[in-house]
Amino acid sequence: MLTRGHANGFVAEDLVGSVRLNLKRTKYHPGLYFEGGIFVFQGLYSAGVLDVESMCLCKSRETMDCERMSRAVAGRIDENDRIILLSDVHLDISQVMRALFHLLSGFATCPPNVFILCGPFLSTHTVYGYTEAASTPFRHLVSIASQGQVVLKPQH
């Protein structure tokens, strides 16, 4: 996962550690790049820094499933379709989680076609350990969503 590190630089982070990134000469493959996203980094590692030569989106099974579902949905657009977009969602604040539960339960009988939550997902900025700090709030979100007819499909 791409996160902000020391002195506004970036790091690649996973559950076991992180590595500083040098993105000055990076070739970006087509896609949308954002902090907190899951990407593939290719480059040379030296002196504790990965000099990234190229960066691309992950091509996972889930991503392919999402693309297939997007094409299927595009073929059956209805004028009554709804997309719910929430930005700056902080999953570590209990009032936000209660509001999400209330919102999702309100859509239980007639859910929208697409429900999009945008981060940063944590109310405090963490240089390292974002993945660990965010795991509990995301488990709570899954718990709330699983009480209704909601399917969560992460896109990396």
pLDDT digits (tens, 9 = 90+) for 35-44: 888 888 999 9
33 and 104, same domain (yes or no): no
In the chain, % of residues over pLDDT 70 = 79
Q: Is residue 152 part of a domain?
A: no
47 and 76, same domain (yes or no): no
In the chain, % of residues over pLDDT 90 = 12
68 and 139, same domain (yes or no): yes
Which residue range(s) make up the domain with 35?
A: 2-57
Domain end residue (candidates: 15, 38, 57): 57
**Mean pLDDT of the region 6-11:** 80
Q: What distance in Å separates the CA atoms of residue 97 and residue 152, rounded to the nearest whole number?
A: 16
pLDDT mean across residues, the chain: 78
Calculate the CA dihedral of residues 25, 27, 31, 32 and round it to 10 degrees.
Answer: 0
134 and 65, same domain (yes or no): yes
70 and 126, same domain (yes or no): yes
Q: What distance in Å separates the CA atoms of residue 113 and residue 84, rounded to the nearest whole number?
A: 8
* pLDDT value of position 128: 77
**Mean pLDDT of the region 127-134:** 80
Q: What are phi and psi of 3, to 5 degrees?
A: -135, 160
108 and 121, same domain (yes or no): yes
What pLDDT band is residue 23 in, cutting at 50, 70 and 90?
Answer: very high
Is-contact 21 44, C-beta < 8 A?
A: no
Tally of domains within the chain: 2
142 and 69, same domain (yes or no): yes
